[in-house]
Amino acid sequence: MTRLPRLAACLLPAALALGGATRARAQQPPAAPDTAALRRAQDPEISGVSAAVARYNAAGVRRVRGPLDVAPGDTVRGDLAVFGGPVTVAGRVAGRLTVIDGDLYLRPTASVAGDVLVVGGVVDGQRAATLGGPLTLLRRPVAFRVGPDSLLAFDDRDAPPTRRDLGFRLTRTSSTDRRTVTSVTLASLGTYNRTEGLPVVFGPSLEAAVGGTGRLAIDLLGIFRTADEFRWDREHLGHVLRAELRSSRGRGRRATARLYDEVAAVETWQLRPDEAGLAAFALHRDFRDYYNRHGGSLALGYDASPDVGLTLTAARERWASRRTLDPFTLLRNGQPWRPVPRADEGLMTVLTAAARVDTRNDVANPWAGWYVAGDYEYGAGRIQEFAPLSSDGTARGRSRAPGERAYGRLFVDLRRYNRLTPDAQLNFRLAGGGWLHGDPLPAQRRLSVGGPGALAGYDFRSVAGAGGADVLQCGATAAFGGVRPAGTPAECDRVLIGQAEYRTDVRLSLFSEGSADQPRFRRGFRTEFTWVLFADAGRGWLVGRRRGTLVYPAGALPAFSTFLSDVGAGVDFGHPHGRRDVRPFGIYVAKSVSRPDQAPNVFVRVRRRF
């Protein structure tokens, strides 16, 4: 079959999936029973959002959209409500102050006669300012619809749970009781890649209310992989059958059961799926490796709050390698793909405990808060066929004889976002982990650094290090005398990377003078970009008896002089203050510091770097 029909079949869903913009929202079911409505009305977050909207829409309130300064000596008479911000108060507000979707900065000379309510932002300087009432801060972002003189909040928790792994809902119909919603789904599952093309899922879905606050979601979906000719065989077909029961939207308890035959990515911590898929579809560059997993899982989760969650998962699955196919790409379509590295194959039981603490004010464009995520994985089972690694056949190498294997793996991602001024941020990230105990890690559980998602100053899957050691992938041919496997896979037992970035908005402001009872408002007309300066340092290594600059004992950390580093700069065209209706898009250039002879790398990100 010619490639043209395959191209026509995959272009539309690929554009929808990679653009990430088209997702039909489920029909909102009617109000819950009275007991649930009363419980939700008593929720401080929901009542706070409602109060903020009511204040903004109230008659007689002074409404401002965008940046606002109340200068020293100026007075705002009556209540003040600001949408967008940031708001800097150095004078007096003779009423209540409400800030929605923006930051509030209170100077020591600031005085607010009433209480202060801030939704979707941060507050600075409250201890030194004079406040006539309590200060309420709600960090959770809320989607708003803004009219000329009014504001409407849409609370996502009012809608049925949307499965985030489904890209596009083709049709939806409601049942007669309007508590059950059924649909026929045609969606993208996963990301465009060189072993599947675009994986398309299709089949029925159901969402239903259970009790007063519970929701049940069921998906019965088949997977069709579009990378090759339209063939009805196991390589091109898969499935995802899922049932999820959760006690409430955004918090509480949840249980998820899955049966699946799907393709999984080896490393997901560097680039998000949409970025990896866009690079593959447009540039013929696939920044991930893949393997097939076939089995089932049961996950139990608990959200102590919207900021804190814990998930325990038990899975029984069969691992298998995937071969490299030839999906269509917009550019360089005639070039060969990097081979998909082999995976360890066998039947495994995998137990995972994942924890998350997320106090960021906005997930997509944070400017304040912490993000800490960690997962521990224990795997045990029988490996029947091992993927080749550079260290095989050496003193450090693993035995390739089929048999029982058990391992422990830990990975932690810690980030801190700091707003220094209304226009500047200084953010930090420390990520790393790997082998913890037991047998050596399977090939598809190993790690690497290098490329636009980690050390951007070094080419993806390039060899860089000292003394013949490759500290990016740990495939040290010179150190071990082995042969580097096809596709240059990730082979590190452990990795560690630190990242820092300074972001500052480019802002133009026009000033207008007022009378004694009309304060001077500084209304800023912002250009839609942010300057970004960044630096990264990191490396990977193997665990074992000390050998050169690549192998270290389990309790040792490589000297920081062996870490590779880079510096760079870029322009982020997303909104400087994290508006959720403008998607981040940045162009960056990074230069290796440890390898001065290496040329700078220019790359594009459709997400923030971290």
Contact 143, 123 (CB under 8 A): no
CA-wise closest residue to 521 among 47, 199, 62, 165:
62
- The predicted pLDDT at position 263 comes to 95
Average pLDDT over residues 477-485: 66
Q: How many CA atoms lie within 13 A of 498 on its CB side?
A: 5
Kindly state the average pLDDT of the residues 365-394.
89
Q: Residue 394: what pLDDT?
A: 57
DSSP state of 258: E
Domain ranges of the chain: 1-29+161-340, 36-156, 386-393+405-610
Can you tell me the mean pLDDT for 98-102? 86
Which residues on neighbouring strands pair with residue 214, listed in sequence order?
A: 210
| H or E stretch at 183 | strand 180-188
Residue 11: predicted pLDDT: 41
Average pLDDT, the chain: 81
Residue 523 has pLDDT above 50, yes or no: no
Nearest alpha carbon to residue 413 among 269, 608, 566: 269
Average pLDDT of 12-23? 37
Predicted local confidence at residue 299, as pLDDT: 97
- Reported as a pLDDT band with limits 50, 70 and 90, residue 7 is very low
Q: Contact 117/99 with Cβ under 8 angstroms?
A: yes
Q: Exposure of 8 by Cβ count < 10 A (0-12 exposed, 13-18 middle, 19+ buried)?
A: exposed
pLDDT for 142: 62
Q: Please tell me the predicted confidence (pLDDT) of residue 463.
A: 77
pLDDT of 227-259, one tens digit each? 877 777 888 899 999 999 988 655 688 999 999
Collapsing DSSP states into helix, strand and coil, what is residue 157? helix
What per-residue string of b and e applies to 314-352 under the rule 16 or more CB within 10 Å gives b?
Answer: ebebebbbbebbebbbeeeeeeebbebbbbbbbebebeb
| pTM, 2 dp | 0.76
The b-or-e profile of 572-600 (16+ CB within 10 A means b, else e) is bbbbbbbebeebbebebebbbebbeebee
Q: Is the pLDDT at 45 greater than 70, yes or no? A: no
Mean pLDDT, range 211-222, rounded to an integer? 85
In which residue are the tokens 């009363």 written?
38
Burial class (CB in 10 A: 0-12, 13-18, 19+), 553: exposed
pLDDT at 412: 98
Q: What is the DSSP letter of 530?
A: E
Question: Which CATH fold topology does 386-393+405-610 show?
Answer: Porin (2.40.160)
